[in-house]
Amino acid sequence: MATKTDPKLSALHAGSVKVGNFIINRLGFGAMRITGAGIWGPPSDTENAKRVLERAVELDVNFIDTADAYGPNVSEELIHDALAPYEGLLIATKGGLIRGGPGDWRPSGSPAHLRQACEDSLKRLGVDKINLYQFHRPDPAVRFTDSVKTLVELREEGKIRHIGLSNVDLQQLRAALEITPIVSVQNHYNFEHRRDSEAVLDFCERHHIAFIPYFPIGGGQSDYNQQIIQDVARKHQANARQIALAWLLARSKCMLPIPGTSSIAHLEENIASANIKLSAADMAALDKLSD
């Protein structure tokens, strides 16, 4: 791999957070968008997708988040091809969703499905143990605690090291913690969309659980032309998306943003946000943009 040329481009500048027994630089990489359009099928340029992954690691990203549903399977396969044997990296994946096509995401939290999904992810990633396995989404058709207990069984069998949850509310998080330690929670959260998960984030902060916000810069849905964010961005000689990431890093020390992209230029832009230090006045202004 090539070395960094700009000392300001490093995930190390974001600080660190503990995820289980791993110390993680507090800007990770979400590997959803390295797949094809609609998060379906392979990317149009496979070599570019692998180069984006390699560049993330060059920039001191040591947390890569993926899921079997991304592609499906494609993201995990690309991560294996580009980054195995994962020295110094925490590769986190998820199970609990099935895909019927682009835009079709269905929860599937049965013990049988989760067990098979984990086995398949082990093979695609080329590992004997998944260091962080996350339950992708509670399934209304399956008792939530039954899904969690399946992950506990997989951990006891040595197939996963740590358990994480995704798309959960505070009640579900508390219920899971009555069964097993939970080292991370991954919910939809950014400076515009956060009301649904504020209580979960505050709980995670109090209990030293890493909080992984997905769509950290809005997932393409944010209106970055609003005057408030433009004013803050201009003050810091940054763009609005970088301010969105800087806001997350300032919001909580347990925050582990995972901005994803299929572009090396955008990846480097995201990593540069680790150098932005927002003032109390900046944070107060951005708080006005919440949902």
- Cα 44 from Cα 270, distance rounded (Å): 22
CB 39 within 8 A of CB 51: no
Query: Cis link prior to 85 (omega < 30° from 0)?
Result: yes
Q: If you ran DSSP here, which 8-state letter would residue 159 be given?
A: S
Of 70, 133, 189, 214, which residue is the catalytic one? 70
SS3 of residue 76 by DSSP: helix
Containing H/E element for 134? strand 130-135
Apex 74 CA angle, 61 and 115, nearest 5: 95
**Tokens representing residue 86 in the block:** 């994962």
Alpha-carbon separation of residue 51 from 47, 262, 267, 278 (angstroms): 6, 9, 11, 31
Residues 6+ apart with CB under 8 A from 106: 97, 98, 99, 100
Sign of CA dihedral 112, 114, 120, 123: negative
Number of helices (H), then strands (E), belonging to the chain: the values are 10, 11
- Is 224 part of the annotated catalytic residue set? no
SS3 of residue 65 by DSSP: strand
Alpha-carbon separation of residue 85 from 80, 128, 226 (angstroms): 8, 11, 44
CB 286 within 8 A of CB 232: yes
- Residue numbers annotated as active site: 70
